[in-house]
């Protein structure tokens, strides 16, 4: 019987291909099987980062989300559809492992930080060999793009998703030194109101497409109402500095 293959969850970093780790780059260049998530009908952001690094001969395993924003998050049908999807993709990867194939799964940012791969990891770990390669997070890419450090001295950093209720966003933004808000997309108007309620709107910056050619950094007051899902809001800490 051949050895089991290993499933690698590989962090690609925030967007620029040369911001992936040397280990990730080496794994991608040597990969025979490469899997990635994407929206149906799209090329996929992770796949785009890997273009030019992964071998053209690699077998590609596109994992297409069954739903993204067509069904409300709190609809049980959303949860059921995603659960079945992740179970099916995990089974697909487990079958390749059983055939002795190593599979590199492309993960934007860091695999264990709000990533889709975590839902496969939860189903595979313990049953199949899995290894994680951490990556530079999207938020690191964003604060680097902003040209200012995010935390100094004893600063408290709070990381939030803009999917939270407006009053909770405002409360959390008021009570922290530094903040990062992820998953903005269609929640921009709510997030803007929460920043204003918290008295933090004038400190906030909005970063779109961090570390990609179309990168933009603006003050919140200059940011458009319509932004992509992966847009990140930053409030920089102002802590102790000698």
Distance separating alpha carbons of residues 69 and 35, to the nearest angstrom: 22
Ranges within 171-210 binding a second copy (CB under 8 A)? 172, 176
CB of 127 to a second copy, least distance (A): 14
Distance separating alpha carbons of residues 31 and 58, to the nearest angstrom: 7
Distance separating alpha carbons of residues 44 and 51, to the nearest angstrom: 11
CB of 150 to a second copy, least distance (A): 6
Q: Which of 136, 188, 194, 227 binds a second copy (CB under 8 A)?
A: 136
Cα→Cα distances 150→53, 112, 155, 177, 222, Å: 31, 21, 9, 10, 20
Cα→Cα distances 88→32, 62, 72, 116, 172, Å: 21, 12, 22, 14, 37
Ranges within 158-177 binding a second copy (CB under 8 A)? 158-161, 163-164, 172, 176
* CB burial readout 190-223, b (16+ within 10 A) else e: bbbebbebbebbebbbbbbbbbbeebbbeebeeb
CB of 197 to a second copy, least distance (A): 17
Q: Which of 135, 192, 194, 217 binds a second copy (CB under 8 A)?
A: 135
Q: Does the protein bind a second copy through residue 141 (CB under 8 A)? A: yes
Nearest to 120 by CA among 108, 130, 110, 134: 130
Contact 139, 180 (CB under 8 A): yes
Scanning the structure block, which residue is given the tokens 């492309």?
A: 106
CB of 75 to a second copy, least distance (A): 12
Q: Does the protein bind a second copy through residue 15 (CB under 8 A)? A: no
CB of 172 to a second copy, least distance (A): 7
Whichever of 34 and 139 has its CB closer to a second copy, that residue is 139
Whichever of 136 and 201 has its CB closer to a second copy, that residue is 136
Q: Which of 36, 143, 205, 230 binds a second copy (CB under 8 A)?
A: 143
> Can you give the binding site for a second copy, defined by CB under 8 A?
11, 13-14, 16-23, 25-26, 78-80, 82-83, 86, 110-115, 118-119, 121-122, 125, 132-137, 140-141, 143-144, 147-161, 163-164, 172, 176, 211, 241-242
């Amino acid at each position: 019987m051949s050895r089991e293959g290993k499933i690698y969850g590989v962090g690609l970093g925030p967007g620029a291909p040369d911001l992936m780790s040397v280990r990730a780059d080496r794994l991608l260049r040597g990969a025979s099987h490469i899997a990635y998530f994407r929206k149906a009908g799209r090329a996929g952001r992770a796949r785009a980062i890997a273009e030019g690094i992964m071998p053209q001969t690699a077998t590609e395993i596109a994992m297409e989300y069954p739903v993204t924003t067509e069904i409300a998050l709190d609809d049980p049908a959303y949860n059921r559809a995603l659960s079945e999807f992740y179970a099916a993709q995990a089974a697909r990867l487990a079958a390749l492992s059983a055939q002795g194939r190593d599979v590199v799964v492309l993960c934007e940012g860091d695999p264990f930080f709000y990533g889709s791969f975590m839902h496969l990891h939860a189903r595979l770990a313990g049953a199949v060999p899995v290894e994680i390669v951490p990556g530079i997070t999207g938020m690191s890419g964003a604060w680097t793009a902003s040209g200012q450090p995010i935390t100094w001295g004893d600063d408290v950093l709070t990381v939030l998703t803009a999917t939270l209720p407006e009053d909770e966003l405002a409360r959390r933004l008021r009570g922290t030194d530094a903040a990062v808000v992820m998953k903005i997309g269609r929640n921009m108007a709510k997030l803007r109101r929460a920043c204003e309620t918290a008295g933090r709107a004038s400190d906030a910056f909005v970063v779109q497409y961090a570390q990609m050619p179309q990168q933009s950094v603006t003050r919140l007051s200059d940011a458009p109402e319509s932004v992509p899902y992966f847009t990140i809001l930053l409030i920089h800490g102002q802590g102790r500095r000698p």
